[in-house]
Structure 1
Amino acid sequence: MTHPLNVIVATDCGSTTTKAILIEKVGEEYRQTYRGEAPTTVEAPFEDVTRGVLNAIAEIEELSGRTILEGDRIITPNQSAQGDPKRGVDIYVSTSSAGGGLQMMVTGVVQNMTGESAQRAALGAGAIVIDVLASNDGRLPYEKIERIRTMRPDMILMSGGTDGGAVTHVVEMAEYIAAADPRPRFGSTYRLPLVYAGNTDARPQIKTILGEKTALDFADNIRPVLERENLAPARNKIHDLFLEHVMQQAPGYKKLIEMAGAPIMPTPAAVGVIMETIAKREGINLIGVDIGGATTDVFSVFNGLFNRTVSANLGMSYSISNVLAEAGLDNIMRWVPFTIDEQTLRNRIKNKMVRPTTIPQSLDELQIEHAIAREALRLALIHHKSLATGLKGIQQERTISDVFEQRTSGKTLIDLLKLDLIVGSGGILSHAPRRIQSMLMMVDAYEPLGVTTLSVDSIFMMPHLGVLSTVNEQAATDVFIRDCMVYLGTCIAPIGQGKDGERCADYEIALPDGRIEKGQLAFGDLKLFALTREQQATVTMQPAKQVDLGNGPGQSFTKTVQGGVVGLMLDGRGRPLQLPGEQAARVAMLTRWYQAVGLYPKGS
């Protein structure tokens, strides 16, 4: 960059809403000053993503008094050198998941070995994986061909085989793809991008079979040897092809790419960048979640290993009916703190799917959405755990028949007892009317163990900061620390179960003002203590003999914890969390919990 970046405008084109933020240099640091949003316009009647972008930026113009647009053009660079400090911006950057994001199909030889490695590579590049095809996935050849033909992905990633190994299975899969002759989702005139990242020995045959039928590109083998995954080259190649091919076909993206001063990133990839940055900077284990209208992305960094999964069918507007289908009505009903009949609940969920941009108008509607969000978050974490695993198929004595029977299983890397931080992002968490609601949604869905800090993205700007960090890391970091992350507080959750009202643990909390809070935490209790982000408290707990706080059953523990805008939460509800089956008892228990954290007035 030749000129300094003092004024930056960034947008995130989501499936439902396009969000714009203005970042300005104030003194020596960068701050987020104004934001605007508008409905995304990738679909009919507009079919031009830039309309929503310009509408969101127009809102920032109105609020800030700065002239940013000249017709349909963003004024860059900033005109302050020409004597008008309130005209123009230095750079415009953007992320996007509009139009359903990047939809990919991946192929491997063994489903839970190279197939899963390919899936991880695609997910890490910000893609939604619509299917995983493998030689041993149990489908007949004609079923595979039919599937490839009907799915219409934006891109295919082929993997399989270690370097120097057999090529027959990989070549067979290429022949299925050639027979299917798949058409891309957008743009009928161009060839489908295909990345081959399998056994290098098979490249000449792959080129012969698919070179004419697809826009073929090669990347280093994802699994060069069984003991090692090499995902970065394939991820980078996917990202490049996404910009070159897929983005060019989506309505209005050509214009958007020309407007932007840096490559457009898929929203999930941008959020992943910022999550990895936090974990590395602070040396912690974290789980991050971005719950959107169509998808829920989960990110984790454990012992420096980054993983991302996308649950393409779990979201709060377009995919809300899928949450109902996957979780089941009973699982959603168990979080609703009032009596409601099944049909009314179903109707409300369907209404949201039909009108995805509406927001709750009453407390009842809000609580139903929060109940659905808990289930979407819970299911997305289960999905993430199943994919964030160690490498499968190594360090075990097995025969080839075991491989094809899929008896192998990598151990999940997600250990909730070693988790330091949960970061929540997305409309339902960022825009909850009260921060305690966000904290409770994440605690109920994730059931953290032991001591965990929780935070939320203040106004949903992680994607913007992820793409900004590729241009100016200081600006992204400044805004992230000062304006983006809102620390909610710390949750201490003993592991174990007991009868409601029985002793779970005795606690002693040394508060910063010198007071000592002593008491007993019973099973079924939630307790909240005021403790700000700047304050620390030392908590000593002596659990009942069957209860574990991380040091073993019955062992006491002492820990100094940080507060937040909500404070310190002691969660005595037991792990795993169980709610009464009978509706009246369940509603009474939920009401009790909400009263304990100040969401309901006592006696209501």
Structure 2
Amino acid sequence: MDSYLLIDFGSTYTKLTAVDIENEEIIATAKDITTIENDIMVGFDNAFQKLEDQLKGKEINFTKKLACSSAAGGLKMIAIGLVPELTAEAAKRAALGAGARVLNVYSYDLTSKEIEEIRNSKLDIILLAGGTDGGNKDCIIHNAKMLAESGMKVPIVVAGNKVAVDDVEKILKDAGMFYKITSNVMPKLNVLDVEPAREEIRKIFMEKIIEAKGMKNAENYISGILMPTPAAVLKAARVLSEGTDKEEGLGDLIVVDIGGATTDVHSLADGEPSKAGVTLRGLQEPFAKRTVEGDLGMRYSAVALWEAATTRKIQKYLDDKTVDVEENCRYRSENIRMVPTTEEEIKFDEAMAKVATELALERHVGVLETLYTPCGVVYSQEGKDLLEVKYLIGTGGVLVHSEHPAEILKAGNFDKVDPTHLKPQNPEYLMDKTYIMSAMGLLAEENSDMAVRIMKKYLLKVV
């Protein structure tokens, strides 16, 4: 039986998915703890043994072995631009869309103190932007000089003002730095062009970062690590939304991925105003948008979640209001592999998940502002209008193991008490019960038609 083996070297678990490519079925899944400390293939071998146990008696020929990775902290980047709300924000969005964890965003001329921060931040790639094409070029040239003089040996993707590229390239080349030049992430004011930068980041991830994270053994076994795990999830969401030449997509959708350290939100929608008379302001929104909330996690970031949400917001989702919220969050952050077993522990985890969903969606969606002018009331929208999104898809451990995943996802819906945040009003809820989203992003690189058909088959409707 010809099959694909799709591998996700996750930050906590290495997850394997075996796909029968003839019948377009998932024939087995398995996972085990990721072992990045010594040899990542140890955790893989443990998971693969579990997979083989499920496939006993079947003759399997893995014609392709494809992988994504967020192990060893995933892909860590900083973004540098000119104006915080413009090119710096555009650079940040390009990095997030490439599947990176953005450690920091810098704007204007870099200072010596900021260079020292960057030097100490243990990052993988720097995205250097700044200026629209033909606009300010002094800032990006200054920042290139500061980076060149720093002595850092970090790959740099240059995606800024095209009239400054020759100067920037000479500076970096003379300093012996590894760099790649690509299109400006914001060629015109408020206009984004992030895809070329995303692709360049992915190439560097494959060429440089995998080896640096001690994953060369894995690369020798598989057909190539294609992308960071978040980029694979975004790829799967995109083909599921848009469809392919042969397969119709589902239309506008949102994916909520609740993890131990972060809550990621991916939206696939143009986000144009759904109500008449609303004007757009601010930076253009990408159709495929990803945001990462590093303070909204179930374990590593449990204390940060409590601090961001407040005790009362978590209590809102608890039947027993006497539960010590702070103590429970601190316990989880100190015991990151805790698995809830009692009813009280399960209910508290689900309350945390509801808060994470609510806040992550609130930060991801657009905001409607009412402006009072001499000519009357004017409505202005910044960000994406996701009121009419058709599907809200959930993934991540707390959702997968919940008996009421739809209740968790509903926490991210539009709230009449806070009508300014343009969250989905009446979506259908789908669950990724078998952790296939990242696997389908990998499969989509090879056969997007099949990836869409399998997702339609295995994403379960929940109510």
> Does the TM-score normalized on the shorter chain lie above 0.5?
yes
Query: What's 1:457 paired with?
Result: 432
Aligned residue type for 2:315: M
CA 1:143–1:375 in structure 2 vs 1: closer, same or farther (change >3 Å)?
Answer: farther
Shift of 1:88: 4.0
Aligned residue type for 2:62: V
CA distance in 1, matches of 2:2, 2:429: 32
Query: What's 1:21 paired with?
Result: 17
CA distance in 1, matches of 2:181, 2:149: 20
Partner SS for 1:223: coil
CA 1:415–1:481 in structure 2 vs 1: closer, same or farther (change >3 Å)?
Answer: closer
1:360 pairs with 2:323: no
| Conserved 8 A contact 1:29-1:475 | no
Higher relative contact order (CA 8 A, sep 6+): 2
Shift of 1:267: 0.9
Pairing of 1:187-586 with structure 2 (within 5 A) = 191-211=153-173, 212=175, 214-251=177-214, 253-281=215-243, 282=249, 284-303=251-270, 305-342=287-324, 345-385=325-365, 411-416=382-387, 418-432=388-402, 434=403, 437-447=404-414, 450-483=425-458, 485-488=459-462, 566=463
Query: What's 1:64 paired with?
Result: 55
Aligned residue type for 1:20: L
CA 1:324–1:214 in structure 2 vs 1: closer, same or farther (change >3 Å)?
Answer: farther
CA distance in 2, matches of 1:56, 1:283: 32
Partner SS for 2:427: strand
Aligned residue type for 2:460: V
CA 1:111–1:449 in structure 2 vs 1: closer, same or farther (change >3 Å)?
Answer: closer
Partner SS for 2:312: helix
CA distance in 1, matches of 2:362, 2:317: 18
Partner SS for 2:299: coil
Pairing of 1:168-187 with structure 2 (within 5 A) = 168-182=138-152
1:98 pairs with 2:71: yes
1:131 pairs with 2:131: no
CA distance in 2, matches of 1:333, 1:202: 53
| Conserved 8 A contact 1:286-1:419 | yes
CA distance in 2, matches of 1:316, 1:16: 13
The TM-score normalised by the length of structure 1 is 0.66
Query: What's 1:525 paired with?
Result: none
CA distance in 1, matches of 2:8, 2:238: 19
Aligned residues: 423
Partner SS for 1:308: strand
CA distance in 1, matches of 2:61, 2:334: 39
| Conserved 8 A contact 1:101-1:127 | yes
Query: What's 2:8 paired with?
Result: 12
Partner SS for 2:160: coil
Aligned residue type for 1:412: G
Aligned residue type for 1:293: G
Aligned residue type for 1:413: K
CA distance in 2, matches of 1:450, 1:295: 24
Give the aligned CA root-mean-square deviation in angstroms.
2.3
CA 1:486–1:195 in structure 2 vs 1: closer, same or farther (change >3 Å)?
Answer: same
Shift of 1:340: 3.1
- Gap runs ≥5 in structure 1: 67-84, 183-190, 390-408, 489-565, 567-604
Shift of 1:317: 2.2
Shift of 1:332: 1.7
| Conserved 8 A contact 1:197-1:219 | yes
Find the structure with the greater CA-based Rg.
1
Query: What's 2:284 paired with?
Result: none
CA 1:423–1:259 in structure 2 vs 1: closer, same or farther (change >3 Å)?
Answer: same
CA distance in 1, matches of 2:14, 2:339: 15
| Conserved 8 A contact 2:362-2:412 | no
- Gap runs ≥5 in structure 2: 244-248, 272-286, 369-379, 415-422
Shift of 1:178: 3.3
| Conserved 8 A contact 2:240-2:452 | no
Percent identity over paired residues: 30
The TM-score normalised by the length of structure 2 is 0.86
Query: What's 2:282 paired with?
Result: none
CA distance in 2, matches of 1:11, 1:246: 17
| Conserved 8 A contact 1:9-1:22 | yes
Query: What's 2:45 paired with?
Result: 54
CA distance in 1, matches of 2:310, 2:181: 43
| Conserved 8 A contact 1:145-1:179 | no
